[in-house]
A and B are shown apart, each in its own frame.
Chain A
């Protein structure tokens, strides 16, 4: 049994929450650069330039990339040979979020769903824990903005609707979202499983590095087809019209019930923040 101290988890989550909010991934920056060159709309190119400048200032001056520092989603892959000592595993993660948002001058954006009273420290984070082989703990911290999460959907399609139905679901979601999720977006699509699993797959799909093709060539082809359909809408950067509505579409699939075809569509704004570490 390998031991990991709860305080090490808190420390890691705290650092990841801050780093994710200040530093846009190199993969996203590369995608924005491509947009700044290839976007046909002049207003759209100007937006790409602003976003690149924004990323530069945020990382250099430790400003959050966006004032919406998100609801913090944490993916934990816990090796089954790890023994957590010195505290409660879930609470250690929550404490990391609490400290990261306080010490990092990040906006606290969580409230009671009915009274709307702010919880004051951006907790509780939404934590997804998976037990995996090995003696490591992988933590991925994903601050998820409200604007793009609000425009995300789950569809329970009929199996007969098949691929055309899935494509329609994705295009409808992006079209109805319009400017609200701060395009250019990344579209995470989860197909299969159950209601909640399709949504979770869609969110996990967002974590794949941009510019890295889907390892399954068939899915890679479907992703390209969806990207084309979404970009044909012409919504463009910030919804002002243009070629780049989405930077990429990412797919994850898993088997579902013979009677179902669940499809989750999770929209991610260009402030695609996630940072990971392995303890």
Chain B
């Protein structure tokens, strides 16, 4: 049975391994943002043996490219972007202690295996709920790579940010199993 879990990063191995596919989570505290360009930079730094500008151990990365904030607002619409574009970079970040990522869409078998190996999870947020999710973001500031503009790494402070556990530490995948539960045909073409 799926449950609702409140999460406050940094996350411990115990907290992460207790999460099961299908659980709803509500995150409060800090999220770091990163898209393609920031991932490239982070992984390049690791490959060069350099330190990362933010300590990712126990942290959650949110794959988001918000719309511009209106004056006086914290952020614009801020829903998840497609996670698969980050797949090639992800195992290296998990190896340095990243514990969760929030995005939308499927992850590669390599990422799913790395989640098992490093005890981490992939969370899905509702794609296209950018206005709703923006309400849960209370603060946003750039903490690395300001030259990347909207793609810079931001530190967000969130309250009850909703997501669902898609891939857990046991290698399970809600995109596969949830669909299997409701499929009435393997598709007319299989």
Binding site for B on A (CB under 8 A): 40-41, 43, 46-47, 50-51, 53-55, 57-58, 61-69, 105-107, 145, 147, 167-168, 171-172, 175, 178-180, 182, 229, 232-236, 238-243, 269-271
Contacts and interface: CB of A to CB of B under 8 A. Distances in A.
Given A54-B132, A179-B104, A241 B179 contact: yes
Nearest to A231: B184
Contact of A63 (B105, B130, B162, B174): B130
A241 B127 contact: no
B127 A235 contact: no
Nearest to B183: A234
A21 B65 CA distance: 16
Contacts of B175: 178-179, 239-240
B183 A66 contact: no
A233 B187 contact: yes
A241 B166 CA distance: 11
A63 B134 contact: yes
A65 B179 contact: no
A180 B106 contact: yes
B64 interface: yes
A50 B126 contact: yes
Nearest to B134: A63
Closest 8 CB pairs of A and B: A241-B178, A234-B182, A234-B183, A63-B131, A182-B127, A58-B131, A107-B67, A54-B132
Contact of B68 (A107, A240, A242): A107
A65 B130 contact: yes
A54 B131 contact: yes
Contacts of B105: 147, 178-180, 239
Contact of B182 (A54, A65, A182, A243): A243
8 contacts: A57-B131, A63-B77, A178-B179, A179-B106, A239-B175, A240-B164, A241-B179, A241-B181
A167 B189 CA distance: 9
B188 interface: yes
A240 B178 CA distance: 5
Nearest to A176: B187
Given A182-B128, A234-B181, A238-B124, A67 B66 contact: yes
Interface residues on B, range: 35 or more
Given A51-B128, A53-B132, 17 more contacts: A43-B24, A64-B67, A64-B130, A66-B79, A67-B66, A67-B81, A105-B67, A106-B67, A168-B189, A179-B127, A182-B104, A229-B188, A234-B182, A235-B182, A240-B166, A241-B174, A241-B180
Contacts of B129: 50-51, 53-54, 66
Contacts of A67: 64-67, 76-79, 81, 130
B76 A64 contact: yes
Contacts of A51: 126, 128-129
Interface in B52-87: 64-70, 76-79, 81-82, 84
A267 B175 CA distance: 19
Given A50-B132, A178-B175, A179-B175, A65 B104 contact: no
Contact of B128 (A54, A232, A240): A54
Contacts of B104: 147, 179-180, 182, 238
Contacts of B134: 57, 63
Given A67-B64, A171-B189, A242 B182 contact: yes
Contacts of B127: 66, 147, 179, 182, 238, 269
Nearest to A180: B105
Contacts of B182: 40-41, 234-236, 241-243
B67 A57 contact: no
A197 B184 CA distance: 33
Interface in B99-142: 104-106, 124, 126-132, 134-135
B91 interface: no
B13 interface: no
A236 B164 CA distance: 15
A28 to B, nearest CB: 11
A66 B189 contact: no
Contacts of A106: 67-68
Interface in B142-190: 150, 162, 164, 166, 174-175, 177-185, 187-189
A68 B82 CA distance: 11
B79 A171 contact: no
